[in-house]
Amino acid sequence: MTSTESVQKAPAKDPWDLPDVSGLVVGVLGGTGDQGRGLAYRLARAGQKVIIGSRAAERAEAAAAGLGLGVEGADNAECARRSDIVIVAVPWDGHAETLEALREPLAGKLVVDCVNPLGFDKKGAYALKPEEGSAAEQAAALLPESRVTAAFHHLSAVLLQDESIEEIDTDVMVLGESRADTDQVQALAARIPGMRGVFAGRLRGAHQVESLVANLISVNRRYKAHAGLRLTDV
């Protein structure tokens, strides 16, 4: 190269240029609970292939039959094995035990943790801080061979399950260590009408995102609402 030649930089990637995830199978661990069932319903309604997981296959199959839309039910291990992307929507008090038992079937999978560690007392909801820093970081520690991300924390289970609602008006904050992985999760969120996935940093920032649910619970109680989040100027 001569001194008169300039180095051409590759153009920056458009952050909204997201991959096509429509052909991926999505598993929902904890799919018999309100949040998991709501996410399964919305994704299946958007045309995604969805498998609900539960500790008992019979419970998962019954929940799947109730949703229709081609949703299938299986025990947690089978759900993890058959899925490309696995959403963790189990109760916080069973989070570690569930993931420890699924380390092998979740190896190599893209895992999306949406669990919010919360406590409740007479003053309302408050955030808990796990030893690892957050539920998502606990998942990453327990699943060293999985690609762990965090997303879908701030969604109302009531709105997700309401069949009369066509669009869910909210943003989804997505955290993770790999842009390729967070892009896939953002794209998955965008499959649901009205929803948008927004990159919000690495997993070390997951505690703040998980904790915000305690504030949303207070908002909902005061205003009799099902509040979500919208990020401005993005």
Residue 7, pLDDT score: 61
pLDDT band of 28, cuts 50, 70, 90: very high
Residue-wise pLDDT for 136-146, tens only, equals 999 999 999 99
d(CA 120, CA 40): 27
Q: Is the per-residue pLDDT at 19 higher than 80?
A: yes
pLDDT of residue 178: 96
158-217, pLDDT tens digit by residue? Answer: 999 999 999 999 999 999 999 999 999 999 999 999 999 999 999 999 999 999 999 999
Taking only the tens place, the pLDDT of each residue in 33-91 is 999 999 999 999 999 999 999 999 999 999 999 999 999 999 999 999 999 999 999 99
The H-assigned helical ranges of the chain are 34-45, 57-67, 76-82, 95-101, 135-142, 157-161, 179-190, 206-223
Neighbour-count burial of 132, counting CB atoms closer than 10 A to its CB (0-12 exposed, 13-18 middle, 19+ buried): middle
Whole-Å CA distances, 191 to 178, 186, 196 = 20, 9, 8
User: For residue 31, what pLDDT is reported?
Assistant: 86
Distance of CA 211 to the CA centre of its chain: 15
Give the whole-angstrom CA distance, residue 55 versus residue 8.
54
Q: What is the pTM of this model?
A: 0.92
Please tell me which residue, 4 or 204, carries the higher pLDDT value: 204
CA 147 – CA 95 distance, rounded (Å) = 17
Instruction: Please give the domain boundaries of the chain with CATH numbers for all domains.
Output: 25-223 (3.40.50.720)
Separation of alpha carbons 167 and 159, rounded Å: 9
What local confidence, expressed as pLDDT, does residue 6 receive? 52
Cβ atoms of 29 and 80 within 8 Å: the answer is: yes
Report how far apart, in Å, the C-alpha atoms of 181 and of each of 37, 85, 97, 185, 214 are: 23, 10, 24, 6, 27
Q: Name the band, by pLDDT with cuts 50, 70 and 90, for residue 1.
A: low
Cα distance between residue 109 and residue 84, in whole Å: 6
